[in-house]
Amino acid sequence: MSGRLNIFHEAWQLIKEAPFIGYGPQADRRVLTIVGNAQNAVLYALLCGGFLGGAGYIGGLVLSWVLLARALRRRHLLPPDERTTLLQVAGVLAFLTMRSYPENCAALFSVDLLLQLPTMVYLGELDRAFKRSAAAQRVRRSGLPETGDIPVFHAAHDRY
């Protein structure tokens, strides 16, 4: 971790000079004079894409953690093999999130991103599956047909 604070300080100063759209891909290699590497995923995303681009990376990471928390609360509904997969995905997400502080991981096209992106997609799909399952259960309880024959209500037309 030696020297990271100086790198972070210099990167933050440059981010403040181009706050909206940043400096483009691999910006840390072009504009940082100390080492030439931002050494932090969030700073790298902000340096390259400004607050507009960095919001996508940060928002995706935060959303992934929200989806993971939701999935972990409902893990008892999953078969044992799926629970194992969910725990593996949680481990990958935790590792890469912790690693993003001292290293520039997953904010650019890299091996880290090739690991992190499938975990994010898995969590999104698992969340959608939970929502579909809950919706199907509500339909079954309500007595409405499940096959797509949803009754059309003409209440607005009946008043006239």
- Supply the mean pLDDT for the chain: 81
Compute the distance between CA of residue 26 and CA of residue 36 in angstroms, rounded to an integer: 9
Among 60, 42, 53, smallest CA distance to 18 is for 53
Give mean pLDDT, residues 12-16: 86
Tens of pLDDT along 37-75? 777 888 888 888 899 988 998 999 999 999 999 999 999
CA 91 → CA 71, 84, 85, 145, distances in Å? Answer: 14, 11, 10, 41
Q: What is the pLDDT of residue 153?
A: 40
> In terms of pLDDT, which residue wins out, 36 or 7?
7
DSSP 38-93: --SHHHHHHHHHHHHHHHHHHHHHHHHHHHHHHHHHTGGGS-HHHHHHHHHHHHHH
Each residue's pLDDT tens digit, 116-147: 889 999 999 999 999 998 888 888 887 766 55
- Supply 132's token pair: 């579909």
Q: Is the pLDDT of residue 111 over 80?
A: no
> Which residue is listed with tokens 């209440």?
155
Q: What is the pLDDT of residue 160?
A: 38
Q: Indicate the pTM of the whole model.
A: 0.76
